[in-house]
Structure 1
Amino acid sequence: MVNYHAPQARARECVVWSVAFLASGAVASADSFGRLQFWDWETGTLLESHAMGASAALSLAVSEEEDSIVVGTSAGATYQFQLLPVKMGSQEKRWVRTKPFQYHTHDVRAVAHSPTALISGGLDGQLVIRPLMERVQKKGYEAALRKFTFPHRRLVSCARKARLLLFQFSQHLELWRLGSTNESGKDGEVLPVCRVPEHLVQLKSKGPEHIYCSCVSPCGGWIAYSTASRFHLYRVQYEGDGVNIEKVPNMPKLPLPAYQLQCSADSSNLFVASDRGSVHVLQLLEPGGCKHLHTLRPPSGTPEAVYLLAPSADGNWLAAASGDWEIHIYSLKRFQHHCAVPTYSCAVTALAIHPVTNNLIIAYSDQQLFEFSIPEKQYTAWSRMVQNDGLHKAWLERDSPITHITFNPKNPSHILLHDVYMFCVLDKSLPLPDDSASLMNQSALKQLPATARKRQLHAFKICKKFQPLLFADLLDENCLVMVERPIMDIKTQLPPPIQQKKFGT
């Protein structure tokens, strides 16, 4: 056994935060002294050492060819090291620090090295993809720097009928009643509220496990959440200004964790997304009980878990998307498999069933949109037209995926969708824009006369006033709720990235 120790150059203890084993027989280590070091794994001899300043080196990742390494530090910087020849044409190679990048404000605790990019995740809540220009074939979208702010999963759920919002934090839930106003105004005006938003309940999770998913029923009477090893269901009752919440006892035993929770439109059933493509259907009983009705599974089986659910408004259908990119549709009347959507080459980011037509709207990670008719088991004519004509180039080059889809019951041709940076109303009755047209033309259209405005109308109406956008949903025909999460609010709660001693103290 070989004892690997860093040289005791300083009095304080050195902590090795990350290691990687190379095919050459070397071991790469990143430590709290801010060094990337290479060791001979058999003798424990230090081969090379590279300092990166006063900040600690927290993470490292090696490329598949093992000729490039990316290191993340506590100062928010990432460094690339490349294995290069000592001299032109020489067979001897050494590791050289070539590129420093500063895209984070705090600890970079996770890094990855793809064939064409460096990927880093920071304590500031951002995921950054930095392309390596020498490895990118085309100087287009693939060569653009991309930043992702929020996780691509639901952290807010809405009880439309009760006008409540449930916020999911790492180890607790908060239930809020939305405020209201009696005033009306013009576009862009801020209206006074006659009733302020009210914090009703804070529900804390016991133990160290984080909450994985949660939901509130449309009526507001049920709250469910799951951790890695526990599933909880609560009955919520409202008495005047008071709230009474009780835990439902004798819950059915389900395989955990649950990957998503979703209630039916009438709040009578709870759908629990589980592993191996299964969805458990629980019946919610008055005054506060629960019964396992059925487990839905795809006919061919799958090792992947279900991570997205979409029930229909009439209670007849349920769509489930799993990690193998397959979407299965089940009949809730007969509790059996109805059909499967043709498999696409990208992951599903959002899906929803239209309340009038029972058409399934699907958004994929490459920004493509599809419409699938559940009764007819095929793509609709509008969906085929979209694929033939193609979506606007600016739409397809967006970084942030669509995370939520809903509909306007007052206008069945409207599809409401949003990502972190925009809210969009997609009008199926209008033509799709071509690449020569402006995708965001709302402000320009307001300046045109009515006749000219009609000639330039297209299907996409985009609003970027609210961002970063964590959640958006339609409460009723005349009310839309949006939840912003400003990045600065997150950063102000973080400690300073590096504790530095000031001169004279």
Structure 2
Amino acid sequence: MEVHRCRFVEYQPAAINALNFTPPTAKQTRLAVGRANGNIEIWDPAQRYRLEKTIPGGKDLSVETLLEQLLAAPPRLFSSGLNPYIIEWDTTSLTAKKSVDSNGGAVWCLAVNSTGTRLAAGCEDGCIRLFNISDGSLEYMRSFESQKGRILSVAWSPEDDFIVSGGSDSSIRIWNVVTGRAAQRMTVNKVKNDHTLVWTVAVLKDKTVVSGDSLGNLMFWDAERGTLKQSHKAHGADILSVVTSRSGDQVFSAGVDRKLNCFRKVQQQRNNKNTSTAGNWVNIGSRRYHWHDIRALALDDRPSVNSIVSGGVDVELVACPAAEFPQLIQNRLPPFPHKYLIALSRSQKLIMSTFFNSVSLWQLGKGKKRSKKQNTRAFGFVSIKPSKFKLNLTIISFKKILAGPLDSTTNALNEYLQKHNASSGAHHVLFTPGSDKLIVVTAESRILIIDLLGWKEGSFEILREFGHHRGLDNEGRSTDKSKVATVISLAVSADGQWLSTADDDNRIHVFNLDSLKHHIKLPKSSIPHTALSFNDFRPNELCVALASNEFYIYNVETKRLTDWSKAHTDQSGSKLVEQRDRIRGMTYNPECPDKMILYGSTYLAQVKLSDTATSTTEKSAKHQKRKFNEDTLKEADEQNKDNTEAKKKGSMDVHIAHKYQQILYCGFLDHNSMVMIERPKFSVLEKLPPSYYKAQFGT
């Protein structure tokens, strides 16, 4: 099989600057991830961390700090960056809900009180400013006394009676919330006359203040007396983040030296000198999971979550169990978007890659024929051999080609949205295979079906709007059982008849694009979905992949599971379920219509969907003479052994390959002609600036 193995898509994920879990009172736990390009990602930790959706950023919107506070369901999400604005985000429409100017320059840090009524912001001009966020508001209240240098970190006490701040003037201050004046000022160590930066502060349950500074010192302070209780030279460089457990007996720290430390409080003990060691903090272990600076930490120590999550310049999230740290293995999460990064045109052999603020087109050439003597590698029953390809970067002026149609489409959409009092903007745009219709999913989860047959004359008609993800029924009436949700997945069948959409509440709807009617709502699973795909050769069959890496196939015309899916309802013991990465997509080889390929970030899985059918490739292989060497025979024996065991257990026929890593997209141009687009980790890391290095053993 010819494989176009492409590594030319130089998609560079942005650095992680901020992390925050939803409060424990939230019904569903989520992790918010703020990146340097302004994107805010929402992750679900319940299914080994599934990327649920992304709030797109914008120019000069780098996220430096994130807050999730539960005042009413759902939790409210606030962010700030190196600009004077504090923004509240709507996590359903994925748009800015409110914003307020700090009037103090860049906002370096945010903290909310325990009752969720006051928001403290540390600003560039050296002032802490309070904002009223009660009853859904976001209003400026007042500012505290000004200090020299910017406020780099801020934290509330557990009882909201004081605020702690760390600044760029080598000082930690305890602020009286009522008077707005500093009650205590503690000074950290200095080197010569240079100021030490206090990057992070936290307050424990017993009102102990924890600070991390640019000298790598982790310090514990008595807030009432303003005195130092204990100090650790925990890191070789700046400590950028400190998080504490809710019980106050565990502290994690991380920073520029790539090291993650865990400190725990020692219980009441007496040593040989009869001296009490109660209240002392000891380092119980450390790990280096990252390749570059760790800028942010998030901790949720509840048994149901039990996670310490770290992220930084190397763009990768790492989650590991908090209670067992540092014994158990970490979970590395792929840094790439799960959907709509790559599009493939089979007829023109074009690849389109979508970047943060640009689009690139690439044209594939033909692979050179290779001799039979050259090595091939087996994937299931299909032989894969790398092929060379020709790259031509195609630059197209979209304004010149599509100026007229784009203007007409925009005018038609704006007119329709204004008429129905709807907001502009879209989360998804998708053409049907015949290019006769355009599907637009707006920020309010309105599904618009647009007729494109008259595009040459500049005529665009909105044929139908579906509001099932907005809590509306088939007649457009509001229902009490449904709620507004974000559409995160959609797929169209190869014949253009069926449209399937799914939201973050795991509701999956199927619409008939011929009759323009709602067809069926699939049974709601307790496990969230990760991908949707119609079979290219059986357009009525919809494959739904779940976060558990199980999947089922639904015949949308008959409104029931396919026979194969009924026979394989229990997939708990399959090799696919054992994979750590979630299923990102599905693809189908025209040469083997009875097989399906599912892929994640680090694997390909080939599943045989028919127990009796034999593909053309397999039939021809029986009549061909093959020369087996020792390695081939060994591989064949192992494959037969796996197949025999699978049949005994009654499990599905699946084969896993790990040859390709960091897969962005997988698809087929033609019979046995596959396009594989990768973004290797070393390619991402080589674009980063040099990381911290400290000479060892005096060299």
Q: With the length of structure 1 as denominator, give the TM-score of the two structures.
A: 0.76
Within a 5 Å distance, the mapping from 1:341-352 to structure 2 comes to 341-352=522-533
**Deviation of residue 9 (structure 1)?**
1.9
Residue of 489, 503, 513 corresponding to 1:308: 489
Residue of 31, 35, 46 corresponding to 2:213: 31
Tell me, in whole angstroms, the C-alpha distance in 2 between the residues paired with 1:23 and 1:281. Answer: 55
CA 1:372 to 1:20, structure 2 compared with 1: closer, same or farther past 3 Å? Answer: farther
1:239-279 deviation per Cα after TM superposition (whole angstroms, max 9, x unaligned): xxxxx888922623474664444322123333334445433
**Deviation of residue 47 (structure 1)?**
5.2
> Partner of 1:122 in structure 2?
312
1:445-471 deviation per Cα after TM superposition (whole angstroms, max 9, x unaligned): 754599999867862133322222221
Tell me, in whole angstroms, the C-alpha distance in 2 between the residues paired with 1:44 and 1:202. Answer: 64
Residue of 233, 241, 244 corresponding to 1:51: 233
Larger Rg: 2
Tell me if 1:172 matches 2:342: no
> Partner of 1:319 in structure 2?
500
For 2:334, the aligned partner's letter is T
> Partner of 2:260 in structure 1?
78
| Cα pair 1:2 1:42 within 8 Å, conserved | no
For 1:286, the aligned partner's letter is W
Tell me if 1:354 matches 2:521: no
> Partner of 1:371 in structure 2?
553
Tell me if 1:272 matches 2:272: no
**Deviation of residue 483 (structure 1)?**
0.7
RMSD between aligned residues:
3.9
| Cα pair 1:183 1:192 within 8 Å, conserved | no
Tell me, in whole angstroms, the C-alpha distance in 2 between the residues paired with 1:503 and 1:257. Answer: 58
- The DSSP-based 3-state class of the residue aligned with 2:407 is coil
| Structure 2, unpaired ranges of 5+ | 1-179, 378-384, 418-422, 474-478, 613-630, 647-651
For 1:387, the aligned partner's letter is T
**Deviation of residue 491 (structure 1)?**
1.0
> Partner of 2:153 in structure 1?
none
**Deviation of residue 443 (structure 1)?**
6.2
> Partner of 1:207 in structure 2?
none
| Structure 1, unpaired ranges of 5+ | 204-233, 238-243, 432-441
Q: Larger RCO: Structure 1 or Structure 2 (Cα < 8 Å, ≥ 6 residues apart)?
A: 2
Within a 5 Å distance, the mapping from 1:8-407 to structure 2 comes to 9-10=190-191, 11-38=193-220, 48-87=230-269, 92-115=278-301, 116-132=306-322, 134=324, 143-154=328-339, 155-181=341-367, 183=369, 186=372, 187-188=376-377, 189-191=385-387, 193=389, 196-201=390-395, 234=398, 248-249=406-407, 251=410, 252-253=413-414, 255=423, 258-275=426-443, 277-284=445-452, 286-287=455-456, 292-298=462-468, 299=473, 300=479, 301-355=482-536, 356-388=538-570, 390-407=571-588
Residue of 479, 482, 487 corresponding to 2:676: 482
**Deviation of residue 369 (structure 1)?**
1.2
CA 1:370 to 1:63, structure 2 compared with 1: closer, same or farther past 3 Å? Answer: farther
For 1:35, the aligned partner's letter is N
**Deviation of residue 417 (structure 1)?**
1.1
CA 1:308 to 1:92, structure 2 compared with 1: closer, same or farther past 3 Å? Answer: same
For 2:467, the aligned partner's letter is R
| Cα pair 2:591 2:672 within 8 Å, conserved | no
**Deviation of residue 327 (structure 1)?**
1.7
For 1:249, the aligned partner's letter is D
Tell me, in whole angstroms, the C-alpha distance in 1 between the residues paired with 2:287 and 2:642. Answer: 45
**Deviation of residue 88 (structure 1)?**
7.1
CA 1:135 to 1:31, structure 2 compared with 1: closer, same or farther past 3 Å? Answer: closer
> Partner of 1:496 in structure 2?
690
Within a 5 Å distance, the mapping from 1:389-468 to structure 2 comes to 390-430=571-611, 447-448=636-637, 459-468=653-662
CA 1:258 to 1:466, structure 2 compared with 1: closer, same or farther past 3 Å? Answer: same
CA 1:397 to 1:449, structure 2 compared with 1: closer, same or farther past 3 Å? Answer: closer
| Cα pair 2:575 2:654 within 8 Å, conserved | no
For 1:268, the aligned partner's letter is D
CA 1:474 to 1:63, structure 2 compared with 1: closer, same or farther past 3 Å? Answer: farther
CA 1:48 to 1:91, structure 2 compared with 1: closer, same or farther past 3 Å? Answer: closer
| Cα pair 1:32 1:57 within 8 Å, conserved | yes
**Deviation of residue 357 (structure 1)?**
4.5
**Deviation of residue 363 (structure 1)?**
1.2
| Cα pair 2:489 2:503 within 8 Å, conserved | yes
**Deviation of residue 430 (structure 1)?**
3.6
Tell me, in whole angstroms, the C-alpha distance in 1 between the residues paired with 2:567 and 2:600. Answer: 24
**Deviation of residue 350 (structure 1)?**
1.2
1:334-359 deviation per Cα after TM superposition (whole angstroms, max 9, x unaligned): 43432222222222111101231412
- The DSSP-based 3-state class of the residue aligned with 2:601 is coil
